A = this chain, B = another copy of it.
Amino acid sequence: MTGLRLPEADERVLARREEIVADLRAIVPGEGVIATERGMRPYESDALTAYRQLPLVVVLPSTTEQVAAILKYCHANEIRVVPRGSGTSLSGGSLPLQDAVLLGMGKFNRILDVDYANRCAVVQPGVTNLGITRAVEQDGFYYAPDPSSQIACSIGGNVGENSGGVHCLKYGLTTNNVLGVELVLITGEIVRLGGKHLDAGGLDLLSVVIGSEGLLGVVTEVTVRLLKKPDTARALLVGFPTSEDAGDCVARIIGQGIIPAGIEMMDRDAIAAAEAFVNVGYPLDVEALLIVELDGPEAECAHLLGEVEAIARDCRAVTLRVSQSEEERLGFWAGRKAAFPAVGRLSPDYLCMDGTIPRKELPLVLSRMRELSQKYGLRVANVFHAGDGNLHPLILYDANKEGELDAAEAFGADILRLCVEVGGVLTGEHGVGIEKRDLMPEMFNEVDLAQQLRVKCAFDDKGLLNPGKVFPTLHRCAELGRMHVSGGVLPFPDLPRF
C-alpha cells in the first residue's frame, strides 16, 4: 500500500464547498448533512485504518428519492461520490476523498418484506447482515453469507464487496444469495435489477453490480434468498504434521465430491495464538489444523463425517476430534473466530491479506509462502477459508521498526502475485478497493481492464462514483477505445499514511 495515490482533488469543487453543502441540505433536511470536521471524523476511514481522509461533506439520506436527487445533483455539478455502508471494508472501499460527497446509507435500516413462499426477503441496504437472520430465525430460516463482521456490516456493503464468510464454500458468496436490487444511477435514474424470480431476460446487470465496490451506482433495496436452517451441524478438528498434508486433505475432500458447510485451516502460529486466547483444546503439536463442518439431516452428517475421517487419516492426520455436542462444536469455532485478535498478540502489527487460489494448489502455495517468509524475515500466520481456496495470510510486523511496514507490504504483494501465478485471483471476499488496486494489472491484461472500464463508463459516464478504487488508472470514458492500461499511471498525489 506504500505510495497510495488518490485522484487529484477538483479545486473547483473545493472552492464551492459552502454552496454544495447548502444545496445538499435542501435535499436532505435536518441532521442528514454533516459538514463539521468533528462530525465527519467518524467517517474518515473504514476498517482499513492505515488510511484516513476527511470527505467534502457527509450526507445521510433516508429515502430512495433523496439518493436519486443527491446523485442527479452531483452528476449535473460533476461532484464525486463515495458510497458507504457500515464502514467495515478491509480494502478501503469506502475511504473518503477530499472533494467527494460521502454518501452514508445507514438510515436505510428496515426489513421491508419477508416472503417464505418465495423464500426471500426484501431489505434496505443499511440492514446488517446478521439482522436479516435475526428477523427470520424464529421461523427456522437464515441468510447464508456470514462475514466475520456480520454483526456490524451492512447488506448494501455486502453487495458492494460480494462478501463471503466461513460457510460460502457450500452456500456461496453474496452474488449467489442476492436475487435483486434497486439501483440508483449517477444520473438519478432508478433501475430494478432481478427480483423474486429467475433470470429476467436481457442482460444480467445484477451480477455485474454485485461486487462492483460502489463504482456503478447506489443500491437502495436488496432482495435476498433465505435458506432453511440445517437440522444438524457437526464439526471435525483435524491436526496434521505438515501444512501440505492439510492442503492435500482439503483437495481430496472436495475432489471426492463432498461439500462441507465450511473448511477452515490454521497453521502452527495461528493455532498457538488462538489456543492461548480462548483455550478450547486445539492440539499444539501439529503444523496445521483443519476445522471441517458438515451440516444437513443427521443421517447425512453422520455418513459424511465417516468419509471425511477416512480421507483425513489417509492424509496422515495425527489428531482427530468430532464435536459431540453443540457446545463443543461452537468451541471448535471460537478459536477460529478469535484468530485475528489472537494473532494480534503475537506481534505489534499485522497485515491481513486476501487472495484466492485453485484448491489443488494449496500445498504448493503454502510451501512458497514459507520461502517468502524467510526472504522478507517476517513471520506469517495462516488463517483461511481452505475449502474454497480463500487465503487470509496475516503478515506479522512492527510498524515502529524502520522498513518493516514496507517489507510487509512487499511480502503481501508477492503473496498476491503468487496467487495469480497459480491461477488464482487477488481477492476472495474483501474486494480490491484501494488496497489491491495497483495489483490489478497482475491479474488482468490491458484488454481485460479496458473491457471492465468500458462497462464502468456505461454506468458512470463522468467517472464520479468512487474514483480511485479498484482500477489502477483513471481514464476519461472517451479514451477507452484506444487505452493502454499497464503503461502510464496518472499523476495522483500521495495520501498521508497513518
Contacts and interface: CB of A to CB of B under 8 A. Distances in A.
Contact of A190 (B200, B252, B296, B447): B447
Interface string A180-211: 00000100011110011111111111111011
A201 B454 contact: no
A116 interface: yes
Interface residues of A, number: 88
Contacts of A208: 203-205, 207-208, 455
A77 interface: no
Given A257-B228, A451-B205, A458-B457, A425 B200 contact: yes
A88 interface: no
Contact of A257 (B191, B227, B461): B227
A424 interface: yes
Contacts of A211: 199, 201, 203-204
A164 B197 CA distance: 13
A258 B228 contact: yes
A303 interface: yes
Nearest to A388: B198
A461 B481 contact: yes
Nearest to A445: B191
B201 A115 contact: no
A297 interface: yes
Contacts of A452: 202-203, 205
A212 interface: yes
Given A196-B358, A201-B211, A451-B458, 6 more contacts: A115-B358, A116-B255, A140-B257, A200-B426, A201-B440, A297-B300
